[in-house]
Amino acid sequence: MTINQNTIIKDDNPLIRQKSLPVSLPLCNEDAQLLRDLFQYVKDSTDPEKAEKENLRAAVGISAIQVGIPKQLTAVVVNDIDNDGNDLHYEYMLANPRIISSSVQKSYLENGEGCLSVIDEHEGFVVRSARVKIQAYDLLTDKNVTIRARGYFAIVLQHEIDHFKGILFYDYINSKDPFAKVPGAIVI
Ligand code: CO
């Protein structure tokens, strides 16, 4: 499947609000190929040459519903730096990811979130859990995985899993006070 700015559905398409269903495991060829295509999109989107040539907008994650397929499949590629300045790299091709626990402590990105399916600016804090524990099948390693995520990576995973519920990041922005400080929250 060709995935680019033209084939990614936007939030003016009601499909983006549709609930995604779990897939059967082991993955059928069609689902596995879709997951690989999603992953490839995210990888290529941060390569300036490919992005330009193939009309890709830079992303750290994409979910199947964003190409109009309501299945619980998502690909993420996240680079971050820990408190000691070490590089962190996470990449997954996830089927049926479930949040099995989440911290009471909150966190949000200082500059807000973005989404391949959202063109308009939506400014404001998107408050999420600071840490989440997720179980999923990961096609990249062909294993069932338990992911303990924190920081930016935890935000990305929650954003992608929200796509399965038809939720977009700006649904969480406090319309009366978009930049309301959240006591105790970690600002990223
Ligand atoms: Co998104």
Q: How far is the CA of 117 from the centre of ligand 1 (A)?
A: 6
Quick one: pLDDT band at residue 153, thresholds 50, 70, 90?
A: very high
In the chain, pLDDT over 70 holds for what percent of residues? 100
Cα(158) to centroid(ligand 1), Å? 10
CA of 59 to the centre of ligand 1 (A): 9
pLDDT band at residue 146 using 50, 70 and 90 as cut-offs: very high
pLDDT value at residue 85 = 93
Label residues 106-130 b or e (16+ Cβ within 10 Å = b): bbbbeebbbbbbbeeebebbbbbbb
The predicted pLDDT at position 160 comes to: 98
Report the alpha-carbon distance of residue 29 to residue 31 in Å, rounded: 6
- Predicted structure pTM score: 0.96
Assess contact for 87 and 66: CB atoms under 8 A.
Answer: no
Percent of the chain clearing pLDDT 90 (strictly above): 98
Domains and CATH numbers, the chain: 14-187 (3.90.45.10)
How many whole angstroms separate alpha carbon 178 and alpha carbon 81?
A: 27
Q: What is the mean pLDDT of residues 132-149?
A: 98
Confidence at 6, pLDDT banded by 50, 70, 90: very high
- Tens digits of residue pLDDT in 26-64: 999 999 999 999 999 999 999 999 999 999 999 999 999
Mean pLDDT of 59-78: 98
Ligand 1 centre to CA of 80 (Å) is 18
Q: Which residues are catalytic?
A: 160
> What pLDDT, in 10s, does the model give residues 96-122?
999 999 999 999 999 999 999 999 999
What pLDDT sits at residue 79? 95
